[in-house]
């Protein structure tokens, strides 16, 4: 069963079994037969979610554009099964949504919800970032055609900051662009427009929060590989990367990706990072991260690979873009 990223599987199973058992005698898996409206029909499959205590931590909202579907939900409710991550609401089961589609345009990221629905997010920035704008495309998903009738609302710290008015499946997609400076909580609400929840499949497509660096923050980190490694061609090796914050500067959680910047063995087959898209995270520093690498084989015909010490330089790309650090690793290459 597909489980939304924010939902622990056990919780999902309990919630799902609870809501399915509340459906009376009908089989929720059976397709709705010969109904003109296969959706609500007067029924609802309410779903609620609250982050477990201890998970009410700051979002990873960094000084950049942050897509909300990567951020943890603090709490949520939905009228027709679980909110779907990066998919339309679909039916009442988790994971049965389709590609988010508004007016024929598809979106890879966002939330597929169903009235009545609510999602709550913290707007606390990461590493002192200040969040300034919330943007989203909104509309009734194409999966219900011209049906459905909803009102999208955005609350900031409990105060209504945006209301779409009634939108139906025939409405053109709208843009939300809100100033959220200085606000602590974002709440995204979908109401049924006063006529019940039939076909009220409401999408928040590309929901993004823009944050900027706190001009008062002076984050400085040092990256180093304190120990070299010995390894053979074609074998995976693990190097330890150490991250420390520099004395006299603001400390904070760190989050980054690594890439190979340079290595002193030109002409050789490329060095391979085993986990090229891994995000390295630490909430406290200093921290050490195992970095898995391999010198790729086979070699081109006639090429004799070098042995001995090669120096590899990595670039660490911190989430607040434009802040790069480099660290070099000495690798004793064995044949």
State the minimum distance, in angstroms, from the CB of residue 166 to Ca ion: 8
* Burial class, 14, CB count within 10 angstroms (exposed 0-12 / middle 13-18 / buried 19+): exposed
State the minimum distance, in angstroms, from the CB of residue 176 to Ca ion: 19
Name which of 79 and 207 has its Cβ closer to Ca ion.
79
Name which of 140 and 333 has its Cβ closer to Ca ion.
140
- Residue 151 to residues 162, 171, 190, 301, Cα–Cα distance (Å): 10, 12, 6, 65
Name which of 6 and 256 has its Cβ closer to Ca ion.
6
State the minimum distance, in angstroms, from the CB of residue 240 to Ca ion: 43
What is the side-by-side strand order in the sheet with 159-168?
A: 47-50, 75-78, 117-122, 185-191, 149-156, 159-168
Q: Which residues bind Ca ion (CB under 5 A)?
A: 81, 90, 96, 149, 192-193, 195, 200
CB-CB contact of 15 with 47 (8 Å): yes
- Residue 283 to residues 126, 143, 255, 286, 287, Cα–Cα distance (Å): 10, 41, 9, 9, 9
State the minimum distance, in angstroms, from the CB of residue 123 to Ca ion: 27
State the minimum distance, in angstroms, from the CB of residue 168 to Ca ion: 8
Name the residue among 136, 125, 119 with its Cα closest to residue 64: 125
State the minimum distance, in angstroms, from the CB of residue 87 to Ca ion: 8
Query: How far is 259 from 46, CA to CA, in rounded Å?
Result: 45
Name which of 200 and 320 has its Cβ closer to Ca ion.
200
Name the residue among 123, 122, 3, 10 with its Cα closest to residue 56: 122
* Burial class, 135, CB count within 10 angstroms (exposed 0-12 / middle 13-18 / buried 19+): middle
Q: How far is CA 202 from the centre of its chain?
A: 19
Query: How far is 84 from 90, CA to CA, in rounded Å?
Result: 8
Name which of 43 and 231 has its Cβ closer to Ca ion.
43
Name which of 27 and 301 has its Cβ closer to Ca ion.
27
Name which of 94 and 129 has its Cβ closer to Ca ion.
94
State the minimum distance, in angstroms, from the CB of residue 10 to Ca ion: 19
């Amino acid at each position: 069963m597909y489980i939304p990223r924010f939902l622990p599987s056990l919780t999902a199973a309990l919630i799902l079994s609870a809501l399915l058992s509340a459906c009376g005698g009908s089989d929720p898996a059976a397709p709705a037969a010969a109904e003109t409206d296969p959706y609500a029909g007067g029924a609802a499959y309410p779903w609620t979610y609250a982050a477990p205590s201890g998970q009410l931590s700051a979002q990873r909202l960094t000084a950049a554009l942050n897509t909300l579907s990567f951020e943890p939900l603090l709490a949520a409710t939905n009228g027709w099964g679980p909110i779907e991550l990066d998919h339309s609401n679909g039916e009442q089961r988790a994971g049965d949504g389709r590609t988010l589609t508004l007016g024929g345009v598809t979106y890879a990221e966002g939330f597929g919800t169903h009235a009545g629905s609510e999602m709550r997010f913290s707007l606390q920035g990461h590493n002192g970032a200040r969040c300034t704008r919330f943007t989203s495309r909104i509309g009734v998903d194409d999966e219900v055609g011209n049906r459905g009738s909803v009102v999208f609302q955005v609350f900031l710290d409990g105060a209504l900051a945006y209301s779409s008015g009634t939108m139906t499946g025939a409405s053109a997609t709208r843009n939300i662009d809100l100033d959220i400076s200085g606000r602590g909580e974002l709440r995204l609400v979908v109401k049924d427009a006063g006529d019940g929840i039939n076909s009220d499949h409401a999408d928040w497509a590309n929901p993004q929060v823009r944050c900027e660096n706190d001009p008062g923050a002076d984050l400085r980190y040092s990256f180093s590989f304190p120990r070299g490694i010995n390894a053979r061609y074609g074998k995976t090796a693990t190097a330890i990367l150490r991250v420390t914050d520099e004395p006299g500067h603001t400390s904070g959680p760190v989050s980054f990706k690594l890439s190979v910047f340079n290595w002193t063995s030109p002409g050789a087959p490329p060095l391979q990072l085993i986990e090229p898209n891994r995000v390295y995270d630490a909430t406290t520093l200093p921290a050490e991260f195992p970095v898995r690498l391999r010198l790729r084989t086979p070699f081109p015909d006639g090429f004799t690979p070098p042995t001995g010490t090669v120096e590899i330089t990595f670039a660490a790309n911190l989430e607040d873009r434009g802040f790069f650090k480099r660290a070099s690793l000495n690798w004793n290459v064995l044949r």
